[in-house]
């Protein structure tokens, strides 16, 4: 029986990053919320992400934002994790597979999170130092430049 570890708190004032991920699953196959949660629990003892964006644009809350996720080693203590379904095309190549509905939903979610965490920078997982993954297969910091904190 898999033991679930106690969830670590995450304080609003500690959030410095909004980190975008993909589920690294084929875009022509369903990857349910239950699958995403089960994968996190199997690997880390808890769900990994705070938000999940399905191919149809549904935005699904996974972890409360008051709980530390386990989505970016070394950055979980200061970040919110957003994952979108997909990231691999039907042929198995890592590419930006976001549907128009996902792109719209992601922008709206990040806009809302930017209001809650105005000093948090938006980055893709692959933009973090020492990350050798293609996830999320696009450059989130530039795509969402309009939502980045303004220099003070």
pLDDT tens track for 113-134: 999 999 999 999 999 998 888 8
Low-confidence ranges of the chain (pLDDT < 50): 1-2
Domains, the chain, ordered by start: 12-65+82-130+139-146 (3.40.80.10)
What is the b/e burial string over 69-108, where b = at least 16 CB atoms within 10 angstroms of the residue's CB? Answer: bbbbeebbebbbbbbbbbbbeeeeebebbbbeebbebbee
Query: Which residue, among 22, 40, 21, has the nearest Cα to 87 in the 3D structure?
Result: 22
Single pTM value for the model: 0.94
The values of phi and psi at residue 105, to 5°, are -60, -40
Q: What is the pLDDT of residue 7?
A: 80
């Amino acid at each position: 029986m898999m033991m679930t570890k106690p969830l670590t708190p995450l304080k609003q004032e500690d959030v410095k990053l909004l980190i975008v991920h993909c589920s690294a699953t084929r875009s022509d196959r369903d990857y349910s919320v239950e699958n995403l949660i089960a994968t996190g629990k199997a690997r880390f003892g808890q769900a990994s992400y705070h938000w999940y964006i399905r191919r149809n644009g549904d935005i699904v809350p996974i972890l409360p934002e008051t709980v530390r996720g386990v989505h970016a080693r070394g950055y979980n203590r200061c970040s919110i994790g957003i994952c979108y379904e997909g990231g691999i095309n039907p042929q198995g190549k890592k590419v930006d597979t976001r549907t128009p509905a996902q792109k719209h939903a992601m922008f709206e979610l990040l806009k809302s999170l930017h209001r809650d965490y105005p000093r948090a920078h938006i980055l893709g997982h692959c933009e973090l130092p020492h990350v050798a993954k293609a996830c999320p297969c696009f450059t989130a910091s530039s795509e969402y430049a309009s939502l980045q904190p303004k220099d003070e």
